[in-house]
Amino acid sequence: MRASTLRAAGMVTLVVAALLGSAYALGRSLMPDHPRGNGVAASVRAPHYGDQPPSTDFPGPPGGGYGGPSPDPSPSGPDSGRQADDSEGPYGAEVSTGSARIALTFDDGPDPQWTPQVLALLKEYGVKATFCVVGENAEAHPDLVRSIVADGHTICNHSWNHDLALGKRSADAIRDDLTRTNDAIRAAAPDARIAYFRQPGGAWTSPVVSVCEELGMTPLHWAVDPTDWQVPGAAKITQVVLAQTRPGSIVLMHDAGGDRSGTVEALQDLLPQLMHRFQLEALPTGTT
């Protein structure tokens, strides 16, 4: 009797284990793969800034790239020295070109795989844009920095290594980071004018704005973010940009930091459609 009971219990255990294994296999088969644009693999050695999780210390603005809602500093908080009004971006950063023209901006490069493709498309359509470059990438690919400048695009400082927490550091540390990035850009293109700084992730703070202005750079934010850094595919990028772009919009996209095949594909549709509706110029508009 005892032996038969043990055999029965063993059979039940085997059946349950088999059912659990089948359920797990079925669940795995139903899970979609992570989207990767049109299937072009990103460089395994490239820094994947856009794949970073959102910053919890410095949430960005609505639709703000790597973060959530904008910070809302109170008068008693550490950042009470600067608070934007409704017409400005976080801490007074620019969100509009100040004219009817729109500005396309590309972050996180230069990248040897994606930046040349973006430059080729811009040249094909005769469009000037603004490239927010990361210092370590500028140092690694000075030829691409020179190409950006030679094609008449604007250069923007985007920090040395895309440090989302840069604004939380001391003023001296921020200054060193921005100066090091400017030095790398000018080592590649000595005549480059670096008139703008864009804080990684849109994680603006009063100290980072103060330092960038001290160094003669305007804090540059954006109004339209299709979250191409999340690799949503070309169709979604195109849809968001066309739906949200208005006269004066600064549009955020990326030419590095991960798989940017979707961005490149989207530009093939976006450029002619945007040119039909707006004037596209590099920042500051009215100079190209």
Question: How many domains does one find in the chain?
Answer: 1
For residue 164, tell me if it sits in a domain. Answer: yes
Domain assignment present for residue 19? The answer is no
| Residue 5 pLDDT greater than 90, yes or no | no
Compare 44 and 101 and report the one with higher pLDDT: 101
43 part of a folded domain: no
Token representation of residue 2: 């005892």
Asked if the structure places residue 2 within a domain, the reply is no
Q: What pLDDT, in 10s, does the model give residues 197-254?
A: 999 999 999 999 999 999 999 999 999 999 999 999 999 999 999 999 999 999 999 9
Tell me which of 107, 111, 177, 225 is the catalytic residue: 107
276 included as an active-site residue: no
110 within some domain: yes
Three-state DSSP state, 261 = helix
pLDDT at 275 over 90: yes
What is the overall mean pLDDT for the chain?
Answer: 80
Would residue 34 show up in a list of annotated catalytic residues for this protein?
A: no
- Looking at residue 124, its pLDDT comes to 97
pLDDT tens profile 136-182:
999 999 999 999 999 999 999 999 999 999 999 999 999 999 999 99
Q: How far apart are the first and last CA of the chain?
A: 93
Residue 37: inside a domain, yes or no?
Answer: no
| CB environment 116-154: b (16+ within 10 A), e (fewer) | bbbbebbeeeebbbbbbbbbbbbbbbbebbebbbebebb
- Res 62: pLDDT: 36
Q: What is the pLDDT of residue 19?
A: 52
User: Does residue 16 have a pLDDT over 90?
Assistant: no
Summarised one tens digit per residue, pLDDT across range 87-135 is 578 999 999 999 999 999 999 999 999 999 999 999 999 999 999 999 9
Q: Which domain holds residue 107?
A: 49-71+82-277
DSSP 3-state assignment of 257? coil
- Which is the catalytic residue, given 162, 254, 255, 259? 254
**Quick check: is 284 in a domain?**
no
What CATH number should be reported for the domain holding residue 254?
Answer: 3.20.20.370
Q: Give the residue-averaged pLDDT of 77-95.
A: 60
* Predicted pLDDT at 8: 54
**Longest Cα–Cα distance in the chain:** 95
- The answer, yes or no, to whether residue 83 has pLDDT greater than 60, is no
Rounded to two decimals, the pTM is 0.75
Asked if the model's pLDDT at residue 259 lies above 50, the reply is yes
- Whether 42 is covered by a domain: the verdict is no
* pLDDT at residue 73 greater than cutoff 80: no
